[in-house]
Amino acid sequence: MKQQAVIFYFSGTGNTWWVSEELSHQLTGRGLKTKAYSIEKISQKEAVALMEQSDLAGFGYPIHGSDLPRPMVEFIESLPDNANKNGFVFCTQWLWSGDGAAVGASFLQKRGFNVLWGDHFLMPNNVTVSVIRLPYTNSLTRLEKVRNRAGRRIKRFAARIVEGKPFRHGFNYGAYLLGSMQRVPYRRVYHKLLNDIAVDSKTCIDCGDCVRLCPTGNLFYQNGDIMTRGNCALCLRCYNFCPVAAIKHMDRPHRHSRGEPYRGPVENFDPFILAE
């Protein structure tokens, strides 16, 4: 029987979606039939069934402070703990995470996965909020350059998986120490960051996109107003894809002088392919 693989990914603003699709394409082209699924679009039961049909399972997520986004942690923890399956893990990041893939592997090992491959892919920065002054861009030329560079690395990663040559980038003590320098303070302040999003009712055009796109149901309608529950995933999907930039972060509206919010790794990216 021909081997096949499945990829489960969480993506806030499309970067991890793009890497997952590219990786599926590369693996399939090398004879390992692979399909990628957004964890927001499948139930736990479907995920378990897909895993049972596959010889290999992959997991992808964006790095948040050298850590996994909460939806990915919850997804992994919802899986049975007796996977007994080879796996691969990858993260997307703007700049650096230290041991970003190894953190995911540590969660997966507890569910019985033998993680033989892990890698990090540099993708555009999606942190565009006013309080954090990191550079970001929607320039198509820049996005193409970043995609090309990531694409080459994805090809090498796919080749190693298909050849059965274990490769685990950043699975060492040095990377762990560097990752911890960011992850430990991040985990300490994390719970204070879950209610930083709000909708500016003066700018809002009431399209409801943020409510439908939110992966955790943090944004919801109450008596015609959009409210928050305080369980934000920090993915910045609502912030970046609001058509009129009506989402405030820490009570500050988007600073247009710094450029428009990040709209995903490809032109006209539709965030609804990740959710609903």
Ligand X SMILES: Cc1cc2nc3c(=O)[nH]c(=O)nc-3n(C[C@H](O)[C@H](O)[C@H](O)COP(=O)(O)O)c2cc1C
Q: Return residues touching ligand X (CB under 6 A).
A: 11-16, 62-66, 92-97, 123, 125-127, 182, 234-236
**The amino acid at 195:** N
Tell me, what DSSP letter sits at residue 170?
T
Q: Which is nearer to ligand X, 63 or 154 (CB)?
A: 63
Q: Among 12, 8, 11, 13, which residue's Cα sits nearest to residue 24? A: 8
- Please tell me whether residue 276 adopts helix, strand or coil conformation: coil
Smallest separation, CB 265 to ligand X (Å): 7
Q: Which is nearer to ligand X, 49 or 184 (CB)?
A: 184
Q: Which is nearer to ligand X, 163 or 251 (CB)?
A: 251
Bridge partner list, 67: 64
Q: Which is nearer to ligand X, 65 or 87 (CB)?
A: 65
Q: Which is nearer to ligand X, 117 or 269 (CB)?
A: 269
- Please tell me whether residue 80 adopts helix, strand or coil conformation: coil
Ranges of beta strands (E only) in the chain are 4-9, 33-38, 56-62, 85-93, 113-122, 167-168, 197-199, 219-222, 225-228, 247-249
- What lies within 8 Å, CB to CB, of 236 at 6+ separation is 12, 13, 126, 127, 128, 129, 262
- What are the phi and psi torsion angles at 101 (to 5°)? -80, -35
Smallest separation, CB 93 to ligand X (Å): 3
Distance (Å, whole) CA 32 – CA 226 = 45
Distance (Å, whole) CA 35 – CA 19 = 12
Q: Which is nearer to ligand X, 24 or 93 (CB)?
A: 93
Smallest separation, CB 186 to ligand X (Å): 7
Smallest separation, CB 129 to ligand X (Å): 9
Distance (Å, whole) CA 274 – CA 263 = 13
Smallest separation, CB 260 to ligand X (Å): 16
Distance (Å, whole) CA 236 – CA 244 = 15
Q: Which is nearer to ligand X, 56 or 99 (CB)?
A: 99
Smallest separation, CB 66 to ligand X (Å): 5
Distance (Å, whole) CA 253 – CA 246 = 7
